C-alpha cells in the first residue's frame, strides 16, 4: 500500500492546513506529557491573563477539524487543540490506554504543563464523551462544557452508524477507498470542499490505521461506563449543540443529554450533520460565544 505521507494529496493538504492555522492565529507545537509527545494547535502566545478554551476532536479525527471554529476565539482566549493519544500526529502505542478516562486525564495533565488549572472544555463525538466525563469526574478543572454531537450514552434512537455497527460493519474501519467515501458521506451533511485527490489521500491514511483504530474503538467503548446515569452530576454551565441530520449519533439523543444535565442549553440545527464546527463554523462559533457571554465568561 502506498504510504499516504508520500502522496501529493498529503503534502498539499498539510501545507494548506498549516497556512490556514497560521493565518487564523494558531501555531503547531509538541508538548511532552509524561513521555508522550502530544501534537497541539495553540494560540501563538499563551497569555496567563486570558481564559482558556480546550477543543477535543472525535474518534479517528484530529485537531484540524477545529481550525475554522477556533479562529473566532484566539483574540480573547488561549486556545489549545490537542491531537488525542493515537490520533493525528500524537503517537499510538499499545502500552498506552485510550479509554475515555485516560484521555481525560491526559488533557488535564497537558494543561498542567501550560500552568493552567481551570479551563472551558468542548468536544465533538468522542471528544464530547471526554468533555462530559471530565465535567463529572474532574469538575474542579472545568469552568464550562460544550458537547457537540457527543458520544457517551445508550442511543435513544439508532443512527445509520449504530445499525451498521450492530450488523458487524464498523464504518470507521476502512479497507478500501470506497469504504472511506461511504464513511465520509456519513460524517457531514454540508462538508467543506475538499478536492478528490486529497480525499483519496485521507482514504489511504484511514486504511493504514485500520488496526490502530480498531483497538482504540474497542478501548473507549469497553473500559469506561456510559454516562446515562451520571449526567445529573454535571454541574458546570453546559451547552449542547447537534446537527439534526447526524448519521453517526442520532439527534434524538440530544433530548436525553439536555433533560439530564441541569440548566443546560440545547441548540439543534436542521440540515447539519455530525460536525457543526466544520459544516457551519461561524454559526456554531457565534452560538458558543453567546453561551460564554450569557454565563459571564466573556
Number of structural domains the chain divides into: 1
pLDDT at 96 over 80: yes
Per-residue pLDDT tens for 8-57? 999 999 999 999 999 999 999 999 999 999 999 999 999 999 999 999 99
- Percent of the chain scored above 70 by pLDDT? 99
Confidence band (pLDDT; 50, 70, 90) for 223? low
Domain that holds residue 229: 4-294
Region 164-175: what's the mean pLDDT? 96
Q: Please give the Cα distance from 87 to 94 (Å, whole number).
A: 13
- Is the dihedral angle over the CA atoms 15, 16, 21, 23 positive or is it negative? positive
Region 146-166: what's the mean pLDDT? 97
Q: Output the domain CATH number for residue 202.
A: 3.40.50.1820
Amino acid at each position: 500500500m502506498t504510504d499516504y505521507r508520500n502522496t501529493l494529496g498529503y503534502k498539499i493538504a498539510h501545507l494548506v492546513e498549516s497556512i490556514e492555522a497560521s493565518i487564523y492565529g494558531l501555531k503547531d507545537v509538541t508538548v511532552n506529557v509524561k513521555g508522550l509527545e502530544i501534537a497541539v494547535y495553540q494560540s501563538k502566545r499563551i497569555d496567563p491573563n486570558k481564559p482558556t478554551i480546550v477543543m477535543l476532536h472525535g474518534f479517528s479525527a484530529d485537531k484540524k477539524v477545529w481550525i475554522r471554529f477556533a479562529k473566532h476565539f484566539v483574540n480573547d482566549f488561549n486556545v489549545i487543540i490537542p491531537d488525542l493519544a493515537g490520533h493525528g500526529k500524537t503517537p499510538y502505542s499499545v502500552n498506552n490506554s485510550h479509554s475515555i478516562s485516560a484521555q481525560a486525564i491526559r488533557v488535564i495533565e497537558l494543561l498542567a504543563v501550560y500552568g493552567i488549572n481551570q479551563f472551558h472544555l468542548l468536544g465533538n463525538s468522542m471528544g464530547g464523551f471526554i468533555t462530559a466525563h471530565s465535567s463529572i469526574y474532574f469538575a474542579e478543572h472545568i469552568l464550562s462544557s460544550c458537547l457537540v454531537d457527543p458520544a457517551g450514552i445508550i442511543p435513544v434512537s439508532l443512527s445509520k452508524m449504530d445499525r451498521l455497527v450492530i450488523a458487524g460493519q464498523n464504518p470507521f474501519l476502512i479497507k478500501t477507498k470506497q469504504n472511506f467515501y461511504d464513511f465520509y458521506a456519513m460524517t457531514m451533511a454540508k462538508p467543506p470542499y475538499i478536492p478528490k485527490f486529497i480525499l483519496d489521500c485521507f482514504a489511504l491514511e484511514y486504511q493504514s490505521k485500520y488496526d490502530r483504530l480498531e483497538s482504540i474503538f474497542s478501548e473507549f467503548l469497553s473500559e469506561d461506563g456510559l454516562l446515562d446515569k451520571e449526567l445529573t452530576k454535571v454541574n458546570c454551565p453546559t451547552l449542547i449543540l447537534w446537527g439534526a441530520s447526524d448519521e453517526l449519533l442520532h439527534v434524538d439523543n440530544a433530548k436525553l443529554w439536555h433533560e439530564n444535565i441541569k440548566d443546560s442549553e440545547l441548540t439543534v440545527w436542521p440540515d447539519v450533520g455530525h460536525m457543526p464546527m466544520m459544516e457551519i463554523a461561524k454559526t456554531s462559533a457565534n452560538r458558543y460565544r453567546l453561551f460564554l457571554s450569557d454565563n459571564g465568561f466573556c
